[in-house]
Amino acid sequence: MIKFLDVSKSFSGKGETVHALQHVSFTIEDGDIFGVIGFSGAGKSTLLRMVNALEKPTDGHVEIDGQNIDTLSHSELRKVRKKIGMVFQQFNLLESKSVYDNVAIPLVLNKTEKSAIHARVMELLEFVGLADKAQAYPSQLSGGQKQRVGIARALATNPSILLCDEATSALDPETTDAILRLLEKINRELNITILVVTHQIQVIQQLCNRVAVMEHGNVVELGSVLDVFSNPKQDMTRRFVQTVIPDRIPDSVAAGLKAQKTPYSLLRIRFLGDNATDNILYHINTVLQVETNIVFASVCELQHTVLGIFIIQVMGDHDTVQKVTDYIDSQNIQWQEVHLS
Ligand SMILES: Nc1ncnc2c1ncn2[C@@H]1O[C@H](COP(=O)(O)OP(=O)(O)O)[C@@H](O)[C@H]1O
Ligand SMILES: [Mg+2]
């Protein structure tokens, strides 16, 4: 378990102070694939680097498995760092060394026996799908292959935590997908807790079970990916989520709606999991006898759960719409009124 306890970090220099992190508190449980998302400069890398004490908090502290890592001696810290692997955006491979030797680096540094190194490196290359590239050099590899080497190297010492700093940001979409699947496999099969920091919302959507949204050094939203994506609270989160899960009426449809003279309201309804849309609309139409039109719909899968977003036009005056929203509330379904701008 990784705990950030009221962590702040300031960098001072040239007469100005940057507050890279401000009172950040949250917990990453064992087995999580925890995502931190934010724009460039939000403080994500600073936060990630605190986990292996490459950065120290100005205030507050970081705990790993109950140990305050900011107060550890050098030798204790070295022990903790062995449990933590790190993957970088630019791969950080040694160009003059073969794939095999790159992956072996942490083992050599740990003074592992040569035969054990060989077995471990080959096992890792097999795991990341590069067994046939052991003798190749980084310059002969694609970006995705380089990142696989970076990942194999990060796993060499059998860590229980993997830190990924923008691990897919230098890759094309297809390669990104493949690397995300590899990270998921690492989490599932090797039981490794993963912390990813990224500015790519797709990474959070496809990979993570929990997410923290960061802005100017603050965590502005935190929760399960399912909760945050299905009901984003902050503007910034909404903007991120909208890029992968649209929830707005297309302009041409909006123009048609604006031209209508009869009274109506627009309701955005979110369904999670096995909530059935059909039954809701059927009830509204036949039991409440209110006419509805679906003016927008999107369905996506998150964390193996279906998220459906519908915008329905409810025909009628205020009282009629009230009847409908009371019914939707009674079904414990989230809704919001949508206003055309
Ligand atoms: N070593 C440093 N010295 C001075 N400022 C830094 C240092 N590291 C990061 N910063 C500043 O802290 C803020 C957060 O940086 P960073 O954690 O790298 O953000 P992100 O990874 O979200 O892009 C930025 O304003 C950055 O310029
Ligand atoms: Mg960064």
**Domain assignments of the chain as residue spans, ordered by start:** 2-244, 251-338
Nearest protein Cα to ligand 1, atom 14: 43
Q: What is the pLDDT of residues 268-278, one digit of tens each?
A: 998 887 666 66
The span from the CA of 82 to the CA of 85, in Å, is: 7
Find out whether the beta carbon of 11 lies less than 6 Å from any atom of ligand 1: yes
Q: What is the pLDDT of residues 95-118, one digit of tens each?
A: 999 999 999 999 999 899 999 999
- DSSP label at 89? T
Question: Phi and psi (nearest 5°) for 324?
Answer: -70, -45
Give domain 251-338's CATH superfamily: ACT domain (3.30.70.260)
Tokens of 115: 């035969």
CA 172 to each of CA 35, 148, 178: distance values in angstroms, whole numbers, following the listed order: 20, 14, 10
Q: Which ligand is nearest to the CA of 44?
A: 1
Torsion of the alpha carbons at 203, 100, 91 and 169, rounded to the nearest 10:
-30
Least confident of 229-238, 257-266, 313-322: 229-238
Find out whether the beta carbon of 75 lies less than 6 Å from any atom of ligand 1: no
Nearest protein Cα to ligand 1, atom 11: 20
pTM of the model: 0.89
CATH class as words, domain 2-244: alpha beta
DSSP for 294-327? EEEEEEEEETTEEEEEEEEEEES-HHHHHHHHHH
Q: What is the pLDDT of residues 291-328, one digit of tens each?
A: 999 999 988 888 888 888 899 999 999 999 999 999 99
Q: Which ligand is nearest to the CA of 49?
A: 1
